[in-house]
Structure 1
Amino acid sequence: MDMLEATAEGGLWDLFAGQNWAFEAVEHDPVFTIEEALAAVPHLGGVKTKNVFVRDGKGQRHILVIVPHDRRVDMAELGRQLPATRLSMASAERLQRHLGVTPGAVSIFAIVNDKDHAVELVIDEAVWKADKVQGHPLRNTSTMAVPHATLEAFLAYTGHEPRVMRVP
């Protein structure tokens, strides 16, 4: 299966199954906030994540930041550490164009849709070191949990090298 096929409904699960990557998934009502996600998926193991898609002040750099669900991101300090000027949330249009998802469905798995490698991936070290990580499979009506080895294999497949750091 090529990466284009993975963008279709159910395609991400098919990609994971076709690659023999371990994962668990649950279906649930649409969730738009961390609180809703926590209530919808209390039994699925792994680190729950917050996924922030940002752009720099000139709109030339796009960065997907993955942190534990209970962490606030200090945009000014993150910008200093990367370095990137005036980080702010990217628009829904940019999110759709670069990651092929809508607000509420953003997760590390959306990086599969960044075929031009226009999006930088920043992963908090707590997420990277976790035994298992949760995220939406390109839609907010399901949640997947993958072991670290699967996450590494998935990122290698997409050709994205994450920058692992303590996100401020």
Structure 2
Amino acid sequence: MNKQEIYDYLKERNIWYEITEHKAVYNMEEISEIDIPYPEGDGKNLFIRDDKKKNYYLITVKGNRRVDLKKFRAKHNTRPLSFASESELRDIMDLIPGAVTPFGLLNDKELKVQFYLDKEFMKNSHIIGVHPNDNTATVWLKVEDLINIIKEHGNEINIVEI
């Protein structure tokens, strides 16, 4: 799915969302330069894999949080972890670096990627901001709606403390 297809998908399902169009951003530092309506809901996404390239994980945390992959590995009993390559990102989720997002899971036809969502998103406003498979916009929606979209698609979802 591309950006417009994501918007159409949300509209067809009557899911509340807002869009913030912006310049292309490639990291959290660049997004901090943009005026966004829900800064507490901004998501940071990491696409990682194990050392055997058999298990893939998308980790989504609040934008100001850091992810310690060694602690994540120990807590979730995985093999050694590293960032997935640009070609793996393209092949599995049809995304480019800087545009990693849970919506990319909708392009994961083989359901290879396990989704790990930081339970911090379940507190307060319950709003999350993620790219619509393109890093020139952020879509704001209820985190529960995002979880339901991914569940419906079939990827494994884990809501955990990261």
Same fold, TM-score > 0.5, yes or no: yes
CA distance in 1, matches of 2:3, 2:116: 26
Among 145, 149, 155, the residue aligned to 2:144: 149
Matched, 1:58 2:29: no
Q: How does 1:44-123 map to 2 (within 5 A)?
A: 44=38, 46-123=40-117
TM value normalised by structure 1: 0.89
Q: CA RMSD in A?
A: 1.5
Shift of 1:45: 5.6
Structure 2: 5+ residue stretches without partners: none
TM value normalised by structure 2: 0.92
Q: Percent identity?
A: 27
CA contact (8 A) 1:45 1:145 kept: no
CA distance in 2, matches of 1:8, 1:125: 27
Shift of 1:116: 1.0
CA distance in 2, matches of 1:45, 1:100: 27
How has the CA–CA distance of structure 1 residues 145 and 46 changed in structure 2, closer, same or farther, with 3 Å as cutoff? farther
Residue 132 of structure 2 is matched in structure 1 by 137
CA distance in 2, matches of 1:34, 1:154: 24
CA distance in 1, matches of 2:39, 2:70: 32
Provide, for residues 109-137 of structure 1, a one-character-per-residue CA deviation record: whole Å limited to 9, x for no partner. 11111121100111111024451000000
Structure 1: 5+ residue stretches without partners: 1-6
Provide, for residues 81-125 of structure 1, a one-character-per-residue CA deviation record: whole Å limited to 9, x for no partner. 111111001101111111110000001111111121100111111
CA contact (8 A) 1:54 1:90 kept: yes
CA distance in 2, matches of 1:114, 1:160: 8
Matched, 1:165 2:146: no
CA distance in 2, matches of 1:32, 1:106: 9
CA distance in 1, matches of 2:99, 2:114: 18
Equivalent residues, number = 161
Runs of at least 4 residues of structure 1 off by over 4 A?
none
